[in-house]
Amino acid sequence: MLSYTDLKPGTTFVLEGAPWEVREYRFVRLQQRKPTVQTKIKNLISGKIVARSFAPSDTLPEANIERKPTIFLYYQARNQEYWFHTPDNPKNRFMLKEDAVGNLWPYLTSNTEVQLYEWEGRTINVGIPIKVDLKVKEAPPAVKGDTAQGGTKEVILETGLKINVPLFINEDDVVRINTESGEYVERVSKG
């Protein structure tokens, strides 16, 4: 069992019958009150992130999550299937349905390394990198003086994802995207 002070980032535990992972941890002690731990936790099945406080009286069972490195091959939209293979054996291919892993296709390209999360003998989620690099497929030209919209424009990435980027981003540039927020981070290379 885990106490409230064991809930450091990366710790997994079971709460209300589902596995959760601690993302942020802050120990708080106010005057004349019992100390608490304020956390941001992520449900590993649904992907939902919530803020929650824990008190000294709270104990939680640890979730035994097995993380397996795996390589993403492709997404088949027609059948909503994600295809993967194990890193050591490319012939060992397997498929997961979209309802098992969520809607990840906008952030994955072939040969992206991901983590499969298994809990109680079943795959519950796929952990993708927090930041991924994607190529810009379509970008409208920047017009000089066009800063009425805050100096951004909408582009289409190689996966079909549409995001807002600064005006200096052009077609064939490679940009870094935060997969948690879906937002532009930086330009990695010019096209």
* Domains located in the chain, CATH noted: 2-60 (2.30.30.30), 66-127 (2.40.50.140), 131-189 (2.40.50.140)
Beta strand segments in 47-180, E: 49-54, 59-60, 66-76, 81-86, 89-97, 112-119, 122-127, 131-138, 152-157, 162-166, 174-178
Q: Give mean pLDDT, residues 174-181.
A: 91
Q: What is the pLDDT of residue 123?
A: 85
Does position 181 have pLDDT exceeding 80, yes or no? yes
Tokens 């100390």, residue located:
35
Dihedral of the alpha carbons of 49, 9, 109, 177, in degrees to the nearest 10:
70
How large a percentage of the chain has pLDDT more than 90?
Answer: 45
Q: What is the pLDDT of residue 12?
A: 92
Condensed to tens digits (0 to 9), the pLDDT of residues 9-33 reads: 989 999 999 999 999 999 988 877 8
Does position 154 have pLDDT exceeding 80, yes or no? yes
Run of H or E including 186? strand 183-189
Q: Give mean pLDDT, residues 125-140.
A: 90
Q: Are strands 59-60 and 162-166 parallel, antiparallel or unpaired?
A: unpaired
